[in-house]
Amino acid sequence: MLGAFFPTRHDRRLIPQARLTGPMPWVIAVMLFLTLLAAAAALALGSAADQINADLAGRATVQIVNADSDARQRQASAAEAVLRSDRAVAVVTRVSDAEVRSLLSPWLGSSALSDDIPLPSLIDVDFRRNASDATLGRLRDALAEAAPDARIDAHGQWLRPVFELIGTLRWLAIALVVLLALASIASVMLSARSSFAAHAETIDIMHLLGSTHQQIARLFQRRIALDAALGALIACLLAAPVLWLLGRAATRLDSGLVSAGSFGPFDWLLLATVPIAGIALAVVTARMTVLGALRKKL
Amino acid sequence: MDSIVQFENVGLRYGTGPEALSDLSFTLFSGQFYFLTGPSGAGKSSLLRLLYLAQRPSRGMIRLFDSDLVTLSRDRMPGFRRRIGVVFQDFRLVPHLSAFDNIALPLRIAGMRDADLATPVREILDWVGLSARGDALPATLSGGEQQRVAIARAVITRPDILVADEPTGNVDPEMAVKLLRLFEALNRMGTTIIVATHDIHLMTRIKRAQMMRLEGGRLFDPTGALRYPPKPSDLRGWEEDKG
């Protein structure tokens, strides 16, 4: 199989190669470097979206707002009972008044939070899996009867615009990968055509001596494969420290959203396939281009 | 005798220009030696291009190795071309390959391993008097040496047909005779030889050779009958064709 793609030592001499003095390895290096960054961005955004979704979409807070302390406590107990009885709910945790005060004190100041100021009762809810709109609707209906002043806020809903932005950026990164792949194909086609024209005399001689189209195409495949391999090596050497530094900077931000976008082993494996896919794409493109040009010959 | 090439009402036109070849009908037989002659612009090179499959005819029918060339699929063309050795008028050597590698090229295209091709290539280099120049690039060879490399490349595979366009134009008379002897030896082994030339002396050296003369893209004898061997009266006045 590989023999069909890579020719003998003599075949290599037929089409001399410029190696790093030619533009092609550098063009491929730049394309693959950008592709690696775009692919890394797509993977990081995907991972961030999954992580945030896992952290927040399975949680909700029930808030009971009533100035009357007794009524508020009564409704909170009723709401707690309703929540505990629902099959979609895994854990129900009543937030104590002290905890509520400590949450609000950075904004209102501890002196302002006297016992006279009514604070809402809060209940944290962990769902067995991500809460669907149907589940939330069912709980709202049940709470409306048991605790009319209760309001349920799904954490995932607060962050819906953030999710949408992350999703858009992720698709943008994927679109960039596709565009860069198309630009790489166009570059390889131009290079193969130019090389084909530069060696037209040699090709013509081989053709008249009985070379098959596959034999001639193989010469160009190898030429492009070596250029692409050199370009991929340069791209990897440039991209690896850049990605490592970006990952390190993201971790240092110590933000739940940003640090969620780090790479796992599978992500690194996927990134490693980018240069390999780039080389394969270049070889196949060169082969198709040269075979297309040879079809015009008798 | 088996026919190896058959032309029937063949015409060749480049683009929208006038016909370079018109109404060619003839048969070439296996194992024969043919000279193709005629003044410059008569269509000799065009006829040779049809014979070595660089061109399809604009009209008419060509049969080669018992196959119709007009309808022959592209996939089968390389196999046919490997059975035809060609000596181009302008040699057409690959400039960045040594004389050895240029001569070995048809063998490598045919799939012969490097270990197997050294002996035949050395033999043929010796035969054309270039054994000491095997590593030389074409640019460092004289015109005559390049021509001998081109001839060696054409005959190395012992083709069924050898097509040669002015194969002795750049060599001295002694080497011309020697090369002709090589063609004769090949011919005796069964190769059909077709040589386009202006050299009358060359034509008279092969007694059993047949002759085709083209004028204005047509065979000189409109019946297509071939003259063999050439008589002195046939050759009279052909000197002015040269060039």
Q: pLDDT digit string (tens) for A197-209?
A: 888 899 999 999 9
Q: What is the pLDDT, as a whole number, of residue A19? A: 66
Residue B231 pLDDT > 90, yes or no?
no
pLDDT in tens, B170-181: 778 888 888 888
Say yes or no: A215 contacts chain B, CB-CB below 8 A: yes
Arithmetic mean of pLDDT, B127-137: 92
The Cα–Cα gap between A186 and A176 comes to: 15
> Between B78, B86, B101, which is nearest A13 by CB?
B101
Contact check, Cβ <8 Å, B78/A211: yes
Question: Nearest-CA neighbor of B32 among B177, B210, B230, B225?
Answer: B210
Residue B23 pLDDT > 60, yes or no?
yes
Residue A238 pLDDT > 90, yes or no?
yes
Report phi then psi at A6, rounded to 5.
Answer: -120, 120
Report phi then psi at B95, rounded to 5.
Answer: -65, -30
Choosing among B45, B70, B72, B74, which should be mutated to test the A contact, i.e. which has the most A CBs within 10 A?
B74
pLDDT in tens, A147-192: 888 898 888 777 778 888 888 999 999 999 999 999 999 998 998 8
Residue B85 pLDDT > 50, yes or no?
yes
Confidence label for B95 from pLDDT (cuts 50, 70 and 90): very high
Q: What is the pLDDT, as a whole number, of residue A235? A: 94
Arithmetic mean of pLDDT, B14-32: 91
Contact check, Cβ <8 Å, A298/B74: yes
Question: Residues of B with CB below 8 A from A13's CB?
Answer: 96-97, 101
Residue A295 pLDDT > 80, yes or no?
yes
> What chain B residue is nearest to A215 in terms of C-alpha separation?
B109
Q: Which residues pair with B84 in a beta bridge?
A: B161
Choosing among B49, B76, B92, which should be mutated to test the A contact, i.e. which has the most A CBs within 10 A?
B92
Contact check, Cβ <8 Å, A10/B94: no
Residue A108 pLDDT > 90, yes or no?
no
Question: Residues of A with CB below 8 A from B86's CB?
Answer: 208-209
> What chain B residue is nearest to A210 in terms of C-alpha separation?
B78
Which residue is listed with tokens 């390049």? B146
Residue B227 per-residue DSSP state: B
Question: Residues of B with CB below 8 A from A295's CB?
Answer: 74
B176 to chain A, closest Cα gap in Å: 24
pLDDT in tens, A52-76: 777 777 888 999 888 888 888 899 8
Q: What is the pLDDT, as a whole number, of residue B243? A: 39
Distances (CA, A) of B88 to A64, B37, B165: 98, 16, 6
Residue A1 pLDDT > 50, yes or no?
no
Q: In what order do the strands lie in the sheet with B67-68?
A: B19-29, B3-13, B59-64, B67-68
**String of b and e for B177-187 (b: at least 16 CB within 10 Å)?**
ebbbebbbebb
> Between B55, B94, B109, which is nearest A298 by CB?
B55
Which residue is listed with tokens 């043919």? B34
> Between B55, B82, B108, which is nearest A10 by CB?
B108
**String of b and e for B66-96 (b: at least 16 CB within 10 Å)?**
eeebeebeeeebbebbbbbbbbbbebbbbeb
Q: Pick A145 or A250 by higher pLDDT.
A: A145
> What chain A residue is nearest to B91 in terms of C-alpha separation?
A205
A214 to chain B, closest Cα gap in Å: 10
Average confidence score pLDDT of chain B = 86
The Cα–Cα gap between A43 and A262 comes to: 9
Percentage helix, strand, coil for chain B under 3-state DSSP, each rounded to 5: 35, 25, 40
B162 to chain A, closest Cα gap in Å: 12
Q: What is the pLDDT, as a whole number, of residue A12? A: 65
pLDDT in tens, B154-164: 999 999 999 99
Contact check, Cβ <8 Å, B106/A210: yes
Q: What is the pLDDT, as a whole number, of residue B240? A: 47
Would you call B18 helix, strand, or coil by DSSP?
coil
Of chain A, the percentage scoring pLDDT greater than 70 comes to 88
Question: Residues of A with CB below 8 A from B53's CB?
Answer: 208, 298
Contact check, Cβ <8 Å, B78/A14: no
Average confidence score pLDDT of chain A = 84
Contact check, Cβ <8 Å, A210/B78: yes
Token pair for B79: 């196999």
Residue ranges of chain B whose CB lies within 8 Å of a chain A CB? 52-56, 74, 77-82, 86, 92-97, 101, 104-106, 108-110, 114, 153
Question: Residues of A with CB below 8 A from B101's CB?
Answer: 10, 13
Residue B69 pLDDT > 90, yes or no?
no
pTM summary value: 0.72
Contact check, Cβ <8 Å, A206/B109: yes
CB atoms under 10 Å from CB of A197, counted, come to: 10
The Cα–Cα gap between B213 and A78 comes to: 115
Residue B225 pLDDT > 70, yes or no?
no
Of chain B, the percentage scoring pLDDT greater than 70 comes to 91
> What chain A residue is nearest to B113 in terms of C-alpha separation?
A8
Residue B220 pLDDT > 80, yes or no?
no
Q: What is the pLDDT, as a whole number, of residue A39? A: 92
Q: Pick B183 or A264 by higher pLDDT.
A: B183
Q: What is the pLDDT, as a whole number, of residue A155? A: 80
Name the residue ranges covered by the structural domains of chain A: 2-53+161-294, 66-148
Question: Residues of B with CB below 8 A from A199's CB?
Answer: none
| Residues 6 or more apart in contact with residue A221 via CB below 8 angstroms | A5, A6, A283, A286, A287, A290
> Between A201, A205, A210, which is nearest B82 by CB?
A210
The Cα–Cα gap between A284 and A185 comes to: 9
ipTM: 0.85
Question: Residues of B with CB below 8 A from A296's CB?
Answer: none
Would you call B10 helix, strand, or coil by DSSP?
strand
**String of b and e for A88-97 (b: at least 16 CB within 10 Å)?**
bbeebebbeb
Q: What is the pLDDT, as a whole number, of residue A254? A: 55
B124, B155 contact by CB (below 8 A): yes
